[in-house]
Structure 1
Amino acid sequence: MKVTPEHNERIAKMTFASVYPHYIVKVEKKGRTKDELNQVIEWLTGFDNNKINELIEEKANFETFFNKANLNPNADLIKGVICGYRIEEIENTLTKQVRYLDKLVDELAKGKKMEKILRTG
Protein backbone atom coordinates (compact mmCIF):
# COMPACT_ATOMS: atom_id res chain seq x y z
CA MET A 1 0.00 0.00 0.00
CA LYS A 2 1.05 3.58 -0.58
CA VAL A 3 1.49 5.83 2.45
CA THR A 4 -0.33 9.14 1.97
CA PRO A 5 0.48 12.52 3.58
CA GLU A 6 -2.87 12.28 5.41
CA HIS A 7 -1.88 8.89 6.80
CA ASN A 8 1.46 10.29 7.98
CA GLU A 9 -0.29 13.23 9.67
CA ARG A 10 -2.79 10.95 11.41
CA ILE A 11 0.02 8.77 12.78
CA ALA A 12 2.02 11.81 13.95
CA LYS A 13 -0.93 13.14 15.96
CA MET A 14 -1.95 9.79 17.48
CA THR A 15 -1.01 9.56 21.14
CA PHE A 16 1.24 6.81 22.43
CA ALA A 17 -1.12 6.56 25.44
CA SER A 18 -4.00 5.60 23.14
CA VAL A 19 -2.05 2.76 21.52
CA TYR A 20 -0.04 1.36 24.45
CA PRO A 21 -3.00 -0.42 26.12
CA HIS A 22 -3.67 -2.20 22.82
CA TYR A 23 -0.05 -3.32 22.69
CA ILE A 24 -0.37 -4.74 26.22
CA VAL A 25 -3.58 -6.63 25.38
CA LYS A 26 -2.05 -7.99 22.17
CA VAL A 27 1.09 -9.38 23.81
CA GLU A 28 -0.61 -10.63 27.00
CA LYS A 29 -3.27 -12.45 24.96
CA LYS A 30 -0.38 -14.41 23.42
CA GLY A 31 1.29 -15.22 26.75
CA ARG A 32 3.90 -12.45 26.78
CA THR A 33 4.24 -9.81 29.50
CA LYS A 34 4.08 -6.05 29.89
CA ASP A 35 7.70 -6.18 31.07
CA GLU A 36 8.72 -7.86 27.80
CA LEU A 37 6.77 -5.22 25.88
CA ASN A 38 8.58 -2.46 27.78
CA GLN A 39 11.91 -4.18 27.11
CA VAL A 40 11.16 -4.07 23.37
CA ILE A 41 10.12 -0.39 23.58
CA GLU A 42 13.28 0.41 25.54
CA TRP A 43 15.45 -1.35 22.95
CA LEU A 44 13.91 0.70 20.13
CA THR A 45 13.62 4.09 21.88
CA GLY A 46 15.90 4.10 24.93
CA PHE A 47 12.87 4.80 27.18
CA ASP A 48 12.84 2.98 30.52
CA ASN A 49 9.61 2.18 32.41
CA ASN A 50 9.57 5.58 34.12
CA LYS A 51 9.96 7.46 30.84
CA ILE A 52 7.27 5.31 29.18
CA ASN A 53 4.86 6.15 32.01
CA GLU A 54 5.81 9.84 31.84
CA LEU A 55 5.07 9.94 28.09
CA ILE A 56 1.73 8.21 28.69
CA GLU A 57 0.79 10.70 31.43
CA GLU A 58 1.67 13.70 29.27
CA LYS A 59 -0.31 12.15 26.38
CA ALA A 60 2.63 12.53 24.02
CA ASN A 61 1.74 12.02 20.39
CA PHE A 62 3.98 9.81 18.24
CA GLU A 63 5.74 12.85 16.80
CA THR A 64 6.81 13.96 20.29
CA PHE A 65 7.44 10.36 21.38
CA PHE A 66 9.94 9.67 18.60
CA ASN A 67 11.48 13.16 18.75
CA LYS A 68 12.43 12.37 22.36
CA ALA A 69 13.61 8.85 21.52
CA ASN A 70 17.20 7.76 21.05
CA LEU A 71 16.48 5.28 18.26
CA ASN A 72 18.49 2.08 18.38
CA PRO A 73 21.16 2.06 15.65
CA ASN A 74 19.97 -1.42 14.63
CA ALA A 75 16.37 -0.27 14.08
CA ASP A 76 16.95 -0.33 10.33
CA LEU A 77 17.28 -4.12 10.62
CA ILE A 78 13.51 -4.23 11.26
CA LYS A 79 12.03 -5.26 7.95
CA GLY A 80 8.89 -6.84 6.59
CA VAL A 81 5.22 -6.03 6.26
CA ILE A 82 3.11 -4.55 9.04
CA CYS A 83 -0.46 -3.26 8.68
CA GLY A 84 -0.18 -3.82 4.92
CA TYR A 85 2.93 -1.64 4.54
CA ARG A 86 6.43 -2.85 3.70
CA ILE A 87 8.60 -1.07 6.27
CA GLU A 88 11.59 -0.71 3.95
CA GLU A 89 9.47 1.23 1.44
CA ILE A 90 8.05 3.82 3.88
CA GLU A 91 9.64 7.17 3.09
CA ASN A 92 8.30 9.27 5.98
CA THR A 93 10.74 8.85 8.89
CA LEU A 94 8.15 9.13 11.67
CA THR A 95 5.72 6.72 10.02
CA LYS A 96 8.59 4.26 9.54
CA GLN A 97 9.55 4.55 13.23
CA VAL A 98 5.96 3.91 14.35
CA ARG A 99 5.84 0.87 12.05
CA TYR A 100 9.13 -0.34 13.57
CA LEU A 101 7.39 -0.30 16.95
CA ASP A 102 4.30 -2.03 15.55
CA LYS A 103 6.48 -4.73 13.97
CA LEU A 104 8.39 -5.38 17.21
CA VAL A 105 5.12 -5.68 19.16
CA ASP A 106 3.79 -8.03 16.49
CA GLU A 107 6.92 -10.21 16.68
CA LEU A 108 6.64 -10.32 20.48
CA ALA A 109 2.99 -11.38 20.25
CA LYS A 110 3.87 -14.05 17.69
CA GLY A 111 6.25 -15.65 20.19
CA LYS A 112 9.58 -14.81 18.60
CA LYS A 113 12.59 -15.18 20.85
CA MET A 114 13.63 -11.92 22.49
CA GLU A 115 17.15 -12.00 20.98
CA LYS A 116 15.59 -12.19 17.49
CA ILE A 117 13.20 -9.33 18.23
CA LEU A 118 16.04 -7.20 19.60
CA ARG A 119 18.20 -8.06 16.58
CA THR A 120 21.00 -9.51 18.71
CA GLY A 121 21.11 -13.10 17.55
Structure 2
Amino acid sequence: MSLQELDPKDVFDRAQKGELVIIDVREPREFATERLHGASLHPLSTFDAKALPVDKTREVVLHCGSGKRSMDALNRCTAAGMPVTAHIKGGMMAWKAAGLPVITLDPATGAVIDPQAV
Protein backbone atom coordinates (compact mmCIF):
# COMPACT_ATOMS: atom_id res chain seq x y z
CA MET A 1 0.00 0.00 0.00
CA SER A 2 1.28 3.45 -0.82
CA LEU A 3 1.03 6.09 1.87
CA GLN A 4 -0.70 9.35 0.94
CA GLU A 5 -0.10 12.87 2.21
CA LEU A 6 -3.38 14.72 1.77
CA ASP A 7 -3.85 18.47 1.47
CA PRO A 8 -5.74 19.94 4.47
CA LYS A 9 -8.31 21.72 2.25
CA ASP A 10 -9.09 18.47 0.40
CA VAL A 11 -9.51 16.66 3.73
CA PHE A 12 -11.81 19.42 5.00
CA ASP A 13 -13.97 19.29 1.85
CA ARG A 14 -14.23 15.50 1.94
CA ALA A 15 -14.98 15.50 5.69
CA GLN A 16 -17.82 17.98 5.07
CA LYS A 17 -19.29 15.49 2.60
CA GLY A 18 -18.95 12.61 5.09
CA GLU A 19 -16.45 10.79 2.87
CA LEU A 20 -13.81 10.19 5.52
CA VAL A 21 -13.05 9.74 9.20
CA ILE A 22 -10.38 11.93 10.82
CA ILE A 23 -8.29 10.36 13.57
CA ASP A 24 -6.15 12.62 15.76
CA VAL A 25 -3.04 10.85 17.10
CA ARG A 26 -1.91 13.71 19.36
CA GLU A 27 -2.14 13.42 23.14
CA PRO A 28 -5.32 14.16 25.15
CA ARG A 29 -4.11 17.54 26.44
CA GLU A 30 -3.39 18.70 22.87
CA PHE A 31 -6.79 17.43 21.71
CA ALA A 32 -8.55 19.25 24.58
CA THR A 33 -6.92 22.55 23.65
CA GLU A 34 -7.63 22.47 19.91
CA ARG A 35 -9.02 19.88 17.56
CA LEU A 36 -10.67 19.32 14.22
CA HIS A 37 -14.46 19.13 14.13
CA GLY A 38 -15.54 15.49 14.16
CA ALA A 39 -12.07 14.05 14.78
CA SER A 40 -11.68 11.06 17.08
CA LEU A 41 -8.73 10.77 19.46
CA HIS A 42 -6.40 7.75 19.29
CA PRO A 43 -3.16 9.02 20.94
CA LEU A 44 0.11 7.73 19.55
CA SER A 45 1.29 6.89 23.11
CA THR A 46 -1.43 4.20 23.34
CA PHE A 47 -2.05 3.72 19.61
CA ASP A 48 -3.66 0.45 18.54
CA ALA A 49 -4.14 0.29 14.78
CA LYS A 50 -6.67 -2.52 15.17
CA ALA A 51 -8.91 -0.23 17.28
CA LEU A 52 -9.42 2.32 14.49
CA PRO A 53 -12.97 2.70 13.11
CA VAL A 54 -12.25 1.22 9.69
CA ASP A 55 -15.13 0.35 7.38
CA LYS A 56 -15.60 0.16 3.63
CA THR A 57 -17.70 3.34 3.35
CA ARG A 58 -15.23 6.04 4.45
CA GLU A 59 -11.47 6.48 4.26
CA VAL A 60 -9.60 6.90 7.55
CA VAL A 61 -7.21 9.88 7.60
CA LEU A 62 -4.75 10.42 10.45
CA HIS A 63 -3.42 13.75 11.69
CA CYS A 64 -1.21 15.24 14.38
CA GLY A 65 0.52 18.57 14.99
CA SER A 66 2.98 18.54 12.10
CA GLY A 67 2.67 15.20 10.29
CA LYS A 68 5.48 13.34 12.07
CA ARG A 69 3.36 11.35 14.55
CA SER A 70 0.63 10.65 12.01
CA MET A 71 3.27 9.17 9.67
CA ASP A 72 4.48 7.00 12.56
CA ALA A 73 0.88 5.88 13.13
CA LEU A 74 0.49 5.14 9.40
CA ASN A 75 3.54 2.90 9.55
CA ARG A 76 2.02 1.10 12.55
CA CYS A 77 -1.21 0.61 10.56
CA THR A 78 0.75 -0.88 7.67
CA ALA A 79 2.63 -3.21 10.04
CA ALA A 80 -0.71 -4.33 11.55
CA GLY A 81 -2.21 -4.97 8.11
CA MET A 82 -4.81 -2.22 8.51
CA PRO A 83 -6.11 -0.44 5.37
CA VAL A 84 -5.22 3.05 6.61
CA THR A 85 -2.89 4.81 4.18
CA ALA A 86 -3.45 8.57 4.47
CA HIS A 87 -2.59 11.48 6.73
CA ILE A 88 -2.88 15.25 6.58
CA LYS A 89 0.32 16.70 5.15
CA GLY A 90 1.70 19.18 7.69
CA GLY A 91 -0.89 18.24 10.33
CA MET A 92 -2.62 20.83 12.49
CA MET A 93 -0.04 23.49 11.57
CA ALA A 94 -0.88 23.18 7.86
CA TRP A 95 -4.62 22.99 8.63
CA LYS A 96 -4.52 26.30 10.52
CA ALA A 97 -2.20 27.90 7.94
CA ALA A 98 -4.85 27.07 5.33
CA GLY A 99 -7.39 29.03 7.39
CA LEU A 100 -9.55 25.99 8.10
CA PRO A 101 -11.79 25.88 11.21
CA VAL A 102 -10.45 24.51 14.51
CA ILE A 103 -12.33 23.86 17.75
CA THR A 104 -10.59 25.79 20.54
CA LEU A 105 -11.13 26.79 24.16
CA ASP A 106 -11.81 30.34 25.29
CA PRO A 107 -8.89 30.98 27.66
CA ALA A 108 -10.97 33.36 29.80
CA THR A 109 -13.96 31.06 30.36
CA GLY A 110 -12.90 27.57 29.28
CA ALA A 111 -15.88 27.50 26.92
CA VAL A 112 -15.54 25.40 23.77
CA ILE A 113 -15.50 27.45 20.57
CA ASP A 114 -16.60 25.41 17.56
CA PRO A 115 -16.89 27.51 14.39
CA GLN A 116 -18.73 24.63 12.68
CA ALA A 117 -21.35 24.11 15.42
CA VAL A 118 -24.90 24.44 14.23
**Greater strand share, structure number:** 2
**Greater helix share, structure number:** 1
When normalised by structure 2's length, the TM-score is 0.29
Higher relative contact order (CA 8 A, sep 6+): 1
